[in-house]
Amino acid sequence: MKSCRAALIAAPASGQGKTTITAALARQAVQQGKRVRVFKTGPDFLDPMIHERASGAPCLQLDLFMGGEAHCRALLAEAAATADLILVEGVMGMFDGRPSSADLAEALGLPVLLVIDAQGMADTFGVIAHGLAGFRSELQCAGVIANRVGSEGHAKMLMDSLPGYLPGIGWMPREARITLPERHLGLLPAAELTSLDKQLDIAAAALHTSFERWPEWSPEYATAARETPEALLAGKHIAIARDEAFCFIYPANLDALQSLGATVSFFSPLADAGIPECDAVWLPGGYPELHAARIAANQSMQLALLAHHSTGKPILAECGGMMSLFETIVTADGALHEGFGLLTGAALMQSKLAALGLQEVDLPEGRLRGHSFHYSRCDTPLEPIARCRNPNRGTLSEAIYRVDRLTASYMHFYFPSNLQATAALFQP
């Protein structure tokens, strides 16, 4: 089996620079003529957009909860068949959450590359790296990259602090111009970052590293093949909302719909006058709160969605998609806008985080997994048909609403978690 270089990029905590370092590594490798695949641990829509731009290839999720180990193995095996370098960006701190980035690295046999913010640090850098690398003996640590380094002298001090068994793979200088901007749900979507390619080139040029120092990795464990499902959606056309307000779409979800036999097309609820002729509609999450005035102004889209719904055709509305379907949307400044009006009630933005966590739910169609992340809340008299569970012993329990063939929730579904249930959601 073909071998390649691979690593899971982990850190002591969030905010250490995993996304910037991962993207810089990917862009640097592409510039050297290498074929690169980047994956993201955990439920995230924004970081993968950055990595797709950096690597030139889709960035998929590797998540032991949402997709399961066999699914993760299959995705890695497919990537390893053609890639020279595989990068998996971890989530939060290395051992945070259940399952954690460390759990994924151990399950899939991936070497770990530590990223540590070295700002204001000297010999303690080596202590932190030693603690992370040695905390679980089953893990293989391939090395360490120091981030936000003040100078070459500072970099040498940091590398000298590392224990002999743990190589210093490289370092990134502290430069504000390679910082990626954020808003309330994380990094800005790649499509909104007009200077992103320039930023990635700057980061790649600034990163001091050599891929030749990385160990070879052979994915002999990755023998699982991706599930080939029955074509339960053969002949069905699914229209998917995709624009500035509806942009949170897992590439694996699109693959899942197509593997089930569906034809997919895209439309813009903000700009288009109607929806394509279709059997079902999917309204994914995004930023409807930032485009509420345009939603209110597009009355022809409202009529098109109402007509689709009135014929009994399925609609799946997730998070921002659900927000857009309420009668009203109240933005963070207190302004009230009309929504598309398929759901009774209002979506209300707030300044503090309302929910964040993995979710699992038993629907009449079957059990589906995914996650939730939002700053808004909804005020509705609708009674939920089900409530989600959090696998990390949390109290987060999102409601699932259903009005005829319309299913709506703050939960973002990961379709590969149950292809049969997914097909049932979209079947007329």
| Whether 319 is catalytic | yes
| Inter-residue contact 40 to 59 (CB < 8 Å) | yes
Contact at 8 Å (CB) between 419 and 231? no
Query: Residue 222 pairs with which residues in a beta bridge?
Result: none
Q: Cis bond leading into 276, ω under 30°?
A: no
Residues 6+ away with beta carbon under 8 Å from 205? none
Compute, in degrees rounded to 10, the torsion defined by CA atoms 239, 243, 245, 247: 80
Short-list 33, 84, 82, 88, CA closest to 60: 88
Among residues 396, 392, 269, the alpha carbon closest in space to that of 341 is found at 269
User: Which neighbouring-strand residues pair with 141?
Assistant: 112
Tokens of 234: 């053969």
Q: Could you tell me which of 249, 149, 196, 233 has the C-alpha nearest to residue 425?
A: 233
Query: Which residues, including other chains, have CB under 8 Å from residue 101's CB and lie 6 or more apart?
Result: 8, 10, 41, 42, 90, 91, 92, 93, 94, 95
Among residues 59, 319, 378, 388, the one annotated as catalytic is 319
Residue 334 CA to its chain's centroid (Å): 29
Distance CA 228, CA 225 (A): 9
What CA–CA distances, in Å, run from 408 to 324, 412, 415? 11, 10, 15
Q: For residue 138, give both structure tokens.
A: 């089953």
> With contact defined as beta carbons under 8 Å apart, do 317 and 324 qualify?
yes
Active centre residues (catalytic): 319
